[in-house]
Amino acid sequence: MARVLYLLNFVGNGGTEKYVLDLIEQVGRKNCVFVYSEVGPGLEVFQQTGVKMFQVNMTGPFDVNAAKQIKQIIQQENIDVVHANFLRENYLAILAKWLGAHCRVFWTYHVNVPMGLGIRSLNRIMTAFNHKVITVSHFMYEQLLQKGVSKSKLRLIHNGVEGPKQAQPMKSLREVPVFSVVGRLREEKGQAFLIESLDFLKKAHPELKWECHLYGDGPQHEELTELVHKLGLENFVQFKGFCAEKEIVYLNSDIVIVPSKNDAFPYVPMEALSFNRVVVGTKIGGIPEIIKHDESGLLVEYGNNEELANTLYRLLTNQELVQKLSENGRKYFEEHFTLEKMMQQTTELYEH
């Protein structure tokens, strides 16, 4: 088994951290080392794993002092593989390799960010020294080709999640159906778009009963709260805060909405499918790879309030459609997005 060093600048509690934690559990903490720079809200979870940890101040992608320290840790801990998760960490791992560290460097591209001509040119040079660059979706694969990474370096491995062992198809919506949205309260997650669409739904169909739960914290909390008040949706929309127990979230939901403006390949729709929830998402980034329209869920254009409202109306008034999507969504998850499949593909890559 390869000894793996996972490299992460800031330790938050988002999808990238979950990805690294899943890999540490799969590889085994005794075979792993975790190196980070900035303390964040997710650090305690990493500490609880018992994995060996080092803090290295990484001021930027060409911080030679950081690269020297990383090289020293690689040598000291007999590391075979360095797995970086953002561009800064990937460049530092490659610098450490240039400085004499004997290791294979992998980079997983999690978040689609704009890159100018200079960075795209640097990518052509730097990623030539990557063993492989992992993309979490077809969408991200195409993005990296445009951003200077050679096709020969790319390997598509879809993210995966661990769901309930048994399928539990929804037979019917509850008396007051619950829409749920899970994610940081920030612009790219699209909660404002959703709230405005719910206002459209309420005005067009005042007879319908429903409520919406927003799970998550973030910089837009006050702005979104004000929007709910402005639209008179206080009796319909509840802010639930961050919830670490996904079973609580999904089992208390009927329909999970992913209203994102920008998302590479989110965990939430995969988790929702695993719990047999009906999923509605935007045609953004890698979301259409998870939600096949009218098969594993329903898709709408980001920003089209009327279309999202009409899609929710369709679900609230069509029990056969709800049952079909609940059953098909779980099957699609089992075929494509299990944690076991992702782990196997990634760890096999470490060995070759």
Surface-to-core class of residue 351, CB atoms within 10 Å of its CB (0-12 exposed, 13-18 middle, 19+ buried): exposed
Q: Which residues make up the CATH 3.40.50.2000 domain(s) of the chain?
A: 4-160+338-350, 178-336
pLDDT band at residue 352, thresholds of 50, 70 and 90?
Answer: confident
CB neighbour burial string for 123-157, b if at least 16 within 10 angstroms, e if fewer: beebbebbbbbbbbbebbbebbeebbbeeebbbeb
Could you tell me if 82 and 94 are in contact, meaning their C-beta atoms sit under 8 angstroms apart? Answer: no
Could you tell me if 321 and 311 are in contact, meaning their C-beta atoms sit under 8 angstroms apart? Answer: no
| 122-130: average pLDDT | 96
All residues at 6 or more sequence positions from 125 whose CB lies less than 8 Å from its CB, including other chains: none
Could you tell me if 268 and 183 are in contact, meaning their C-beta atoms sit under 8 angstroms apart? Answer: yes
Spatial distance between the Cα atoms of 264 and 175, rounded to a whole number of angstroms:
34
Checking if the pLDDT of 256 tops 90, the result is: yes
Checking if the pLDDT of 91 tops 90, the result is: yes
Neighbours of 228 (CB within 10 A): 21
At residue 94, the pLDDT reads 98
Fold of 178-336: Rossmann fold (3.40.50)
At residue 14, the pLDDT reads 82
Spatial distance between the Cα atoms of 90 and 147, rounded to a whole number of angstroms:
15
Checking if the pLDDT of 264 tops 90, the result is: no
- Give the tens place of pLDDT for each residue, 205-223: 999 999 999 999 999 999 9
At residue 231, the pLDDT reads 97
Share of the chain above pLDDT 90, in %: 91
CATH classification for the domain delimited by 4-160+338-350, as one of 3.40.50.970, 3.40.50.2000, 3.40.50.150, 3.40.50.720: 3.40.50.2000
**Which runs of consecutive H residues, i.e. helices, occur in 275-318?**
287-290, 305-316
Could you tell me if 277 and 259 are in contact, meaning their C-beta atoms sit under 8 angstroms apart? Answer: no
> Computed from CA positions of residues 16, 21, 24, 29, in that sequence, does the dihedral angle turn out positive or negative?
positive
- Give the tens place of pLDDT for each residue, 165-193: 999 899 899 999 999 999 999 999 999 99
At residue 350, the pLDDT reads 95
| 44-73: average pLDDT | 97
At residue 65, the pLDDT reads 98
pLDDT band at residue 114, thresholds of 50, 70 and 90?
Answer: confident
At residue 66, the pLDDT reads 98
- Give the tens place of pLDDT for each residue, 286-337: 999 999 999 999 999 999 999 999 999 999 999 999 999 999 999 999 999 9
Neighbours of 304 (CB within 10 A): 16
Q: How much is the mean pLDDT over the chain?
A: 95
**Helix/strand/coil for 287:** helix
Spatial distance between the Cα atoms of 189 and 231, rounded to a whole number of angstroms:
20
Spatial distance between the Cα atoms of 44 and 200, rounded to a whole number of angstroms:
42
Share of the chain above pLDDT 70, in %: 100
